């Protein structure tokens, strides 16, 4: 006889555990299955080990999806304040770092422990190290085939995340199940990922590797004001990770260095008082010196005394500094991407419950759905909100 549960959740990550705790609390018998040895591995390594578990400013506009309205319902049903209240009930210290981003004071493991405790209190059964052989519809719901047994479920929740960081056990499982049940997928691609440059650019930018600078990075009409980091392979840092989710192969990104500074006025004033100094020296008072040297070289003005420069030449230099453009060759891919863009097409899901409209009892939550947040705690908030909404419905 197959074992039977009201709800089987595949994936003991952020969304799966939140869903399990809520469904169990509502009296459902819940089994969570995961092929990993430990639950919530991405939570554990997130936010540099401190887990940026939510963002106080979470709004639908902070998410990418083919249907920007889809996330609204779940995000309204479970807010950052709800998660903060949960964290506080468990006595976990937290702080706001910047831009509404909340982190654990101590360690991300506290969040995993909290979710485990919530599941335990709700009577949830957790089975780790379990490979899923197959999933099929049955007369009473769904049948999940494991290596040596089958499990019956009235409701089946797919919470296996995206493809990012395969080394940590990420798989395309959710997408395969979606396709098996006739749900369309929005093309998946790596998001929140460092961008790489072609070999020639690698050589000229190599000298800048390790430099971090405040920028406004833009791709099309989307802009982010955050720090950018030059790497040996290209560009990284929060501004680039953010813009990477909007960037497509072949497109250009534009970077304004020190966007809050009126460099034109400063350079023209300096021409009167420091006219004998070289362009890169004066520029280096406002930008990292290596970057000033690089930009002066790109502008063809290296070693030129500032006094030699006409207004037009200074304006040209400022245009370069505030509109430096680059065509990335690619991205670092799923190996380092924090998230997977695209996924299960939201047109096929009920936005209040996350249930597949054409397959009653089958649910998709978390990162596998075509809802992807910005950097800064938004992706966990989506995992909590979609998991909670589903947990209330199963």
Minimum distance from CB of 167 to ligand FDA (Å)? Answer: 10
| Count of H-run helices and E-run strands, the chain | 13, 21
- Determine if 104 is a binding residue for ligand FDA (CB under 6 A): no
What lies within 8 Å, CB to CB, of 349 at 6+ separation is 70, 183, 355, 356, 357, 364, 369
Tokens 């957790």 appear where?
Answer: 126
> Based on CB atoms, which residue is closest to ligand FDA, 294 or 348?
348
Interacting span for ligand FDA (CB under 6 A) from 79-87, 166-174, 197-205, 326-334: 166-174
Copy the structure tokens of residue 80: 């950052």
Out of 51, 267, 321, 356, point to the residue binding ligand FDA (CB under 6 A): 51
Specify the long-range contacts of residues 263-266, CB closer than 8 Å, at least 24 apart. Answer: 263/318, 263/321, 263/322, 264/314, 264/315, 264/318
Tell me if 19 sits within 8 A of 354, measured CB to CB.
Answer: no
R_g of the chain computed on alpha carbons: 25
172 Ramachandran zone, left/alpha/beta (phi>0; psi -120 to 50): alpha
3-class DSSP assignment, residue 331? strand
Decide: is 165 part of the binding site for ligand FDA (CB under 6 A): yes
> Is 158 among the residues that bind ligand FDA (CB under 6 A)?
no
- Half-sphere exposure at residue 277, Cβ-oriented, CA atoms within 13 angstroms: 15
Q: Check binding of 296 to ligand FDA (CB under 6 A).
A: no
Token duo for residue 351 = 């936005």
173 touching ligand FDA, by CB under 6 A: yes
Q: Interface with ligand FDA includes 226 (CB under 6 A)? A: no
Minimum distance of ligand FDA from residue 85's CB (angstroms): 18
The binder of ligand FDA chosen from 65, 160, 331, 351 (CB under 6 A): 160
Using CB under 6 A as the binding rule, whether residue 385 contacts ligand FDA is answered as: no
Minimum distance of ligand FDA from residue 386's CB (angstroms)? 8
Closest contact distance (angstroms) between CB of 332 and ligand FDA is: 12
Spatial separation of the C-alpha atoms in residues 384 and 366, rounded to whole Å: 8
Among 26, 35, 77, 352, binds ligand FDA (CB under 6 A): 35
Footprint on residues 321-380 left by ligand FDA (CB under 6 A): 338-339, 366-367, 377-380
For the chain, what's the residue count? Answer: 394
Cβ neighbour number for residue 39 with a 10 Å cutoff: 22
Minimum CB separation of residue 282 from ligand FDA in Å reads: 39
**Residue 371 DSSP one-character state:** -
Whose Cβ is closer to ligand FDA: residue 17's or residue 291's?
A: 17
Which residue has the closest beta carbon to ligand FDA? 13
Q: Is position 42 an interface residue for ligand FDA (rule: CB under 6 A)?
A: yes
In the complex, the smallest distance separating the C-beta of residue 372 from ligand FDA, rounded to whole angstroms, is: 8
User: Could you count the other beta carbons within 10 Å of the beta carbon of residue 267?
Assistant: 24
Q: Does residue 15 belong to the site contacting ligand FDA (CB under 6 A)?
A: yes
9, 28, 32, 34: which one contacts ligand FDA (CB under 6 A)?
A: 34
**Which of 10, 193, 205, 295 contacts ligand FDA by CB under 6 A?**
10
Q: For residue 85, what are its two tokens?
A: 């209240």
Kindly state the number of chain residues that form the binding site for ligand FDA, as judged by CB under 6 A. Answer: 36
Runs of H (alpha helix) within 256-346: 263-273, 279-283, 289-298, 311-322
Determine which residue in the list 21, 159, 193, 229 makes contact with ligand FDA, applying CB under 6 A: 159
Considering only 7, 23, 31, 47, the residue that binds ligand FDA (CB under 6 A) is 47
Measured from the CB atom, the residue of 55 and 196 that comes closer to ligand FDA is 55
Give the max Cα distance, the chain.
Answer: 89
Contacts with ligand FDA, residue ranges (CB under 6 A): 10-16, 34-36, 41-42, 45-47, 51-52, 132, 159-161, 164-165, 169-171, 173, 338-339, 366-367, 377-380, 383
């Amino acid at each position: 006889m197959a074992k039977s549960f009201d709800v089987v959740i595949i994936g003991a990550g952020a969304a799966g555990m939140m869903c399990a705790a809520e469904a169990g609390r509502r009296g459902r018998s819940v089994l969570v299955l995961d092929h990993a040895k430990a639950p919530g591995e991405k939570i554990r390594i997130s936010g540099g080990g401190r887990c940026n578990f939510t963002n106080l400013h979470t709004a639908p506009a902070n998410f990418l999806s083919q249907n920007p309205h889809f996330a609204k319902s779940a995000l309204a049903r479970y807010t950052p304040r709800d998660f903060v209240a949960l964290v506080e009930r468990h006595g976990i210290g937290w702080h706001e770092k910047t831009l509404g981003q909340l982190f654990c004071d101590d360690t991300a493991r506290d969040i995993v422990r909290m979710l485990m405790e919530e599941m335990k209190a709700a009577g949830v059964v957790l089975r780790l190290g379990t490979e899923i052989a197959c999933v099929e519809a049955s007369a009473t719901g769904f049948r999940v085939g494991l290596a040596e047994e089958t499990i019956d479920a009235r409701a089946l929740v797919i919470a296996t995340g995206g493809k990012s960081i395969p080394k940590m056990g990420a798989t395309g499982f959710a997408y395969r199940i979606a396709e098996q049940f006739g749900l369309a997928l929005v093309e998946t691609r790596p998001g929140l990922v460092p961008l790489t440059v072609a070999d020639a650019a690698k050589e000229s930018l190599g000298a800048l590797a390790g430099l971090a600078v405040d920028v406004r990075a833009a791709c099309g009409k989307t802009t982010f004001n955050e720090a950018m980091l030059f790497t040996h392979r290209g560009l990284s840092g929060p501004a680039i990770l953010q813009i990477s989710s909007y960037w497509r192969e072949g497109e250009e990104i534009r970077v304004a260095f020190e966007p809050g500074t009126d460099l034109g006025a400063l350079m023209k004033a300096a021409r009167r008082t420091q006219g004998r100094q070289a362009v890169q020296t004066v520029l280096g008072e406002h930008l990292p010196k290596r970057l000033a040297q690089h930009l002066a070289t790109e502008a063809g003005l290296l070693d030129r005394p500032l006094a030699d420069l006409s207004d037009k030449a200074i304006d040209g230099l400022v245009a370069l500094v505030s509109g430096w453009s680059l065509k990335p060759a690619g991205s670092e891919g799923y190996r380092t991407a924090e998230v997977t863009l695209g996924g299960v097409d939201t047109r096929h899901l009920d936005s209040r419950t996350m249930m597949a409209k054409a397959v009653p009892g089958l649910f998709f939550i978390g990162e596998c759905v075509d809802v992807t947040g910005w950097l800064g705690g938004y992706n966990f908030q989506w995992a909590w909100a979609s998991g909670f909404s589903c947990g209330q419905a199963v």
